[in-house]
Amino acid sequence: MGFRRMELGLAEEPVPLNGFHESRRETGIEVRSMVVGCLDSRSSALTGTRLGSLDRDERAQALLSCRRHIRIASQYECPVVILRGCQLENPKLSALSDELHVRLVEEGPEENLVKEVQAHVTKVARASQSQIDHFCRGIHKLLSEFSGVTIAVEAGMHYNDLFGFETIGWMLEDLGSQGLRYWHDTGRIFMRERAGLPAQGHWLDTFGSCMVGAHIHDSDGVLCEMPVGKGEVDFKLLSEYLPKEAERVLEVNSRHPRAEILAAVQTLESLGI
């Protein structure tokens, strides 16, 4: 579509970048951010990172995977790598997370259900202490090894994700002085907000000072990765907090046509984003 700034994300098959350096010289195209990931050995599916795994071997593999991705980011002069998608290793709480999600979709954000979600996410945060400790130790190593690349953490969408409001606060408090930063996500946070969890404004007010970028997409509370203007996210609020130098990544599902994506870009431009 003519965009000259891009993000490398997770994919089932590696994206070939043959000739990228020549194209960059000719067109000025840049890779500005990269989502770090690895395979989940339990399901053979891509996940954000296993740095917080309770299994020592999985943590070691995840650390190697993150190092490899960060080296690739450096190779393409990409300034930011993003960590997300680390889930609690507790089958009972994870199963309850899935159940609550299904109920929220079917019943809507009823008062009693919202209270159940809030109580559940608090339990997840408390149960994740050991995994958060492992994750922070891994990030500490990466921060000390790769001083030229910014590492950022991004909120998770699921109720059993380690990267909730409270736990991201712990991470940034622990490692912010060493360079760990925050990456915002409009659609996923709106979906959490609909379930009675901290609202987008609370995230921005708390972590905006260390925000280095944002995944920008709309949501109706059930689906996300929608073009801006197709859902209910308050993008004017985002424009008030997003630092001028922060990266802006439009994250729209491929089911949406080109015209809707271009319209989303125009809407963001009109808001100063």
User: For residue 7, is pLDDT > 50?
Assistant: yes
Query: Are 238 and 214 contacting, i.e. CB atoms less than 8 angstroms apart?
Result: yes
- For 89, the domain range is 5-270
Q: Mean pLDDT throughout 78-102?
A: 91
- E-strand ranges in 84-238 read 150-154, 181-185, 211-216
Identify the CA nearest to 124 among candidates 151, 87, 171.
87
Taking the C-alpha atoms of residue 189 and residue 195, their distance in angstroms, rounded to an integer, is 10
Q: Which residues of 80-108 are buried (b: 16+ CB within 10 A; e: fewer)?
A: bbbbbbbbbbbeebbebbeebbeebeeee
CATH number of the CATH domain containing 21: 3.20.20.150
Can you give the pLDDT at residue 144? 95
Number of structural domains found in the chain = 1
User: For residue 68, is pLDDT > 80?
Assistant: yes
Can you give the pLDDT at residue 84? 83
Q: Mean pLDDT throughout 138-157?
A: 93
User: For residue 3, is pLDDT > 70?
Assistant: no
Taking the C-alpha atoms of residue 54 and residue 76, their distance in angstroms, rounded to an integer, is 32
User: For residue 49, is pLDDT > 80?
Assistant: no
User: For residue 239, is pLDDT > 50?
Assistant: yes
> Sorting pLDDT into bands at 50, 70 and 90, what band is 41?
very low
pLDDT (tens digit per residue) in 184-197: 999 999 999 999 99
